[in-house]
Structure 1
Amino acid sequence: MSRLPFELLLALRYLRPKRSFVSVITLISVLGVTLGVAVLIIVISVMSGFDHDLRERVFGFNAHLKVLRRDGAMPDWQSVLAQVQTNPLVQGAAPFVLGQVLVETQPPFGQPRVFAPVVRGCAPELEPRVSALPRSVVSGGFQLGPRDLLVGTVFAENMGLAVGDRVTLYSWQELRRLKESHERQQPEAILPEEYTVRGIFDAGYYEFNANVVVTGLEDAQELFDLAGDDAVHGLMVALHDPLQPQTAARTLRLQLGPEYVVTTWMEDSPLMLAVLVEKNVMLYILFFIVIVAAFGITCTLITFVVMKTREIGVLKALGATHRQVLWVFLGQSLIVSIGGVAAGVGLGLTAIAYRNEFLAFLRRATGFELFPASIYGFDQLPALVLPRDVAIICGGSLLICLLAAAFPARHASRLNPVEALRHE
């Protein structure tokens, strides 16, 4: 004697393959749930990976908060830095100068190359408190003495630079003075400063590696005419908990006063916030795939109820209750749903494990790069499987499938045995 409940035994018997049309519909229903769950796991894991890796790499180069002065540059940055560091939510802070410059290479042969990156001036002794830049140098060293320069890997490749090469930097103030002298018809010779490439960094994000160069704080102050007042453009602040920037920003605004502005990474990096929002939106949208698959279960059970009308009448005549008949058909739906969800989880996790190999195969087969680093900023497709997301997907899919089976199961449980057996 089997110890399984009567309803489950009967549901299993009805699900045995019999090479009938209903068996085909049942198989399609299982495949529909499988594909729906697999697609959900793949997409949500990739979005979670994007969010995690983007946050790690952006935070590794940019801080969680920025403190700026409302009326421009910050001449009293040392005193502001001391106040910021007393906040218990703050892990570290460092000054920065940020602006666009014109860089011209000095190759021994051929034409020089020109590009306009963003230069970031930082204090070498304070930078390790707020970013991973000192640990990101892959060639040369983290040396930021007078007229020293750090460049990104992509920038170095595009400009043909190596450690030890020299470049010239023009700030926009120098270019403006040059333009004004020409307008006055009194040409003025402006000699740009020469810098030596001391290191090449890899921030792990294409945008930083291609468009940012780093100098010492004093050199950046000279480039933007801030050296006289020993001023900076602002402070970068690292927090103990980067996921709660608003709380720290509010306390710092109250602490520093109305003449200072505190911005968070959510405001400075809208891309990260967009990825988080898109992940939640995709979760809701892709659940419609599971809903469509659940309609397959509904169709299967409706067909089954029509085919098994006589058997239902016999069961009811033998004393089966409404609840027992209901659970026979709900048990069918539960078995199909669990099988589809389990297969979907396996398929989804397998696809996530071999995602980059699959992309590489498609690139070799078609010659088309589906995930270009120049657009997305990552060399490989990121993915992060979170147990919470998998639990939500599995639980939600099971609930949708059971709700889809509720109407035909309830109809079967309310069949009148006399009406069911009248024409038999």
Structure 2
Amino acid sequence: MYKYLLCWRYLRTRYIALASVISVMLGVATMIVVNSVMAGFSEKMRDRLHGVLADIVVESEYDMNGFYNSDEVMARVKAVTGDQVLAMAPAMETYGLMQFRYGGQKFTRQVQIFGVRPEERARTGDFAEYLVDEKSKQIKPSFDVPESLRLAASPAGQVIEGDPDSAINQALRAQVDEQVSADGAIIGWAMGTLHRDGKDDIILRRGDQIRLIYPKASQRPEPGADEFTVVGYFKSGMSENDSTHIYVPLDRFQKVRLLVNETGRGAVNQIQIKVKPGVNLDALKATIQTALEDLRPMYFKVSTWEQKQGPLLSAVAVEQSILNMLLFFIIAVAGFGILAIFSMIVVEKTRDIGVMKALGASTSGVRGIFLGYGLLLGAVGSGVGMAGGLLFVHYINTIEKWLSKVTGRKVFDDSIYYFNEIPTLVEPWTVFWIVGGALFIAAAASVWPAQRASKLHPVRALRFE
């Protein structure tokens, strides 16, 4: 019983020990906050990256113009995967330029163009969930240009009234057809807006015309151009995608790029594949790769969505690991503080230790006093740090708003990810290992002073000056 009484007394009276408690507390709290925020960002990022890509992607690795036998390729995939595949969608991807007018000026920017069939593409991922109008309300996956939108987008259409079959209205209708494309395009949200002061100002509205320029599949390098009507926006929440991606009708894209053969079949360079939940993607990818090698050796490349986004996901994991290593040094410093404090206590209380041993305190009992004291310091610091860290994570967005108001600048810039708030994810096992590591360091730092105190000889200790 005397061991516990002495540990509690030292904790209440040795104020220098508060430095170690505070170090452990700050280390534990900081690691919990950082890991929760990093895990929240990582989870959000993975969800959005996965939503943009299907589970597995088949590509023509070195041929930008793709392959014409997409039906045969999909049939081969279906044959070797059976009911593991839920949906497939062919696509054509290439780089190009987009031109548009705003404020009387013409602007040009580099884009990544995807030719897709929207209904099929929606079945292979979260494509449909990212399609919105100017008010960020979800719209259906379609490239159809509503008649009302075409008439409103053209000056000629705005004066059509009365009998639609009249000569004047037919002439105006012809002008509408010339001025407004009948095929729509879905552009990235960041391409159609300007983000200022936490708000998005629309610069390309639905009904506006854009001109796309991209390479044709001709013998000599030759640019192709086509015009489309903006019918919606792609808002995934990832700035890289929302600032470059444009989706257009696959059939028209193939024709303009001269990728329709004499049989009327168009070429694609991608097939997006959605599989059943719980299926091992790496094993299924290897099966598909083997089957397509038999169809056309050294041509197709099969990747899972994680492999397609591997560098980005790996960078996040490396950053989290490095941060954990650096922050753990805070707790390590607290451990050295405990070691120094206990060493001083052993020297200061040498006579007292001699008295206790002379009165019958065992070697293990004396050792237990210091080990228990170290563990108690670690437990108090870890407990308070865990509570403080979890509390900070819970109110992190309120704290962010307060800091932004105090400093006069945004602490969390939502223009990068379009997150409405800082995402957090508290993982119980991570909290457990953080707290457990802090307790281990605190206990380990008290081992040497405890061992030194337990080996003191009673007579020599009583003679200590």
Give the alignment's TM-score, normalised by structure 2. 0.80
Q: Distance in 2 between matches of 1:85 and 1:277?
A: 37
Match of 1:353 among 387, 394, 416: 394
Contact 1:142 1:199 in 2 (8 A): no
Say if 2:47 is the partner of 1:53.
no
Q: Secondary structure at the match of 2:206?
A: coil
Within-5 A mapping of 1:169-184 = 169-173=212-216
Alignment match, 2:70? 77
Tell me which residue corresponds to 1:164.
207
> What is the correspondence of 1:55-204 to structure 2 with a 5 Å cutoff?
55-70=46-61, 72=63, 73-86=66-79, 87=81, 89-106=84-101, 110-139=104-133, 140-145=139-144, 147-158=183-194, 160-173=203-216, 192-204=225-237
Cα deviation 1:248-287 (Å, max 9, x = unaligned)? 3222212222442112334321111221233233323322
Residue in structure 2 matching 1:13, options 9, 18, 22: 9
Change (3 A) 1:332 1:223: farther
- Consecutive unaligned residues of structure 1, counting only runs of 5 or more, are 18-22, 181-189
One-letter code of the match for 2:362?
T
Counterpart residue number, 1:256: 292
The sequence identity of aligned pairs, in percent, is 33
Q: For the structure 1 residues 205 and 30, does the alpha-carbon distance in structure 2 shift closer, same or farther, using more than 3 Å as the test? A: same
Q: Matched residues in 2 for 1:118 and 1:161: separation?
A: 17
User: Closer, same or farther in 2 for the Cα pair 1:337/1:301, shift >3 Å?
Assistant: same
How big is the shift at 1:9? 2.4
Contact 1:34 1:341 in 2 (8 A): yes
Residues 304-319 of structure 1: pairs in structure 2 closer than 5 A? 304-319=345-360
Report what 1:187 is aligned to. none
Deviation sequence 1:363-408 (CA, Å, 0-9, x none): 3333443443455664543221101111111111111111111110
Q: How does 1:247-396 map to 2 (within 5 A)?
A: 247-257=283-293, 258=297, 259-269=299-309, 270-375=311-416, 378-396=419-437
Q: Which secondary structure state, in structure 1, belongs to the residue aligned with residue 12 of structure 2? A: coil
Aligned partner letter, 2:56: L
| 412-421 or 58-67, larger mean C-alpha shift | 58-67
Q: What is the RMSD computed on CA atoms of the aligned residues?
A: 2.7
8 A Cα contact 1:142 1:198, kept in partner: no
Instruction: Report the secondary structure of 1:230's partner residue.
Output: coil
The CA deviation string for residues 305-350 of structure 1, in whole angstroms up to 9 with x for no partner, is 1222122111111221111111111111111111100111112112
Distance 1:91 1:396 in 2: 44
Q: Contact 2:94/2:114 (CA < 8 Å) preserved in 1?
A: yes
Aligned partner of residue 419 in structure 1, secondary structure: helix
Measure, in 2, the Cα distance between the counterparts of 1:222 and 1:363: 52
Q: Secondary structure of 1:63's partner?
A: coil
When structure 1 is superposed on structure 2, of 193-202 and 141-150 the one drifting more is: 141-150
Structure 2: distance between partners of 1:106 and 1:175 = 29
The equivalent of 1:183 in structure 2 is none
The SS at the match of 2:87 is strand
Question: Following TM superposition, by how much is the alpha carbon of 1:114 offset from its aligned partner in structure 2, in angstroms?
Answer: 2.5
How far apart are residue 137 of structure 1 and its match?
A: 1.8
Change (3 A) 1:385 1:102: same
Q: Which amino acid aligns with 1:156?
A: G
Distance 2:268 2:114 in 1: 11
Given the superposition, is the C-alpha separation of residues 173 and 318 from structure 1 closer, same or farther in structure 2, using an over 3 Å criterion?
Answer: same
Change (3 A) 1:287 1:223: farther
Amino acid at match of 1:143: S
Moved more, 378-387 or 43-52: 378-387
**Distance 1:394-1:176 versus aligned 2 partners, 3 A rule:** farther
- C-alpha contact (below 8 Å) 1:206/1:373 kept by paired residues: no
Alignment-mate amino acid for residue 117 of structure 2 = A
Match of 1:219 in 2: 252
User: Secondary structure at the residue paired with 2:106?
Assistant: coil
1:246 maps onto 2:255 in alignment = no
After superposing the two structures, state which structure 1 stretch, 213-222 or 402-411, moved more: 213-222
For the structure 1 residues 121 and 53, does the alpha-carbon distance in structure 2 shift closer, same or farther, using more than 3 Å as the test? same
Distance 1:218 1:38 in 2: 56
TM norm structure 1: 0.87
Between 138-147 and 305-314, report the one with greater CA deviation.
138-147
Q: Judge conservation of contact 2:116–2:248 (CA < 8 Å) in 1.
A: yes
Preserved contact between residue 217 and residue 258 of structure 2 (Cα < 8 Å):
no
Letter in 1 for 2:33: I
8 Å CA contact 1:165–1:196 kept in 2: the answer is: yes
- Paired positions, count: 404
Whole-angstrom CA distance in 2 between matches of 1:321 and 1:375: 63
Task: Give the residue type in structure 1 aligned to 2:308.
Answer: D
Distance in 2 of aligned mates of 1:271 and 1:338: 37
Q: 2 CA distance for matches of 1:274 and 1:9?
A: 50
Cα deviation code 1:18-58 (max 9, x no counterpart)? xxxxx232111100000011111111112211211110011
Residue 240 (structure 1) shift:
4.0
What secondary structure, in the 3-state scheme, does the structure 2 residue paired with 1:113 have? Answer: strand
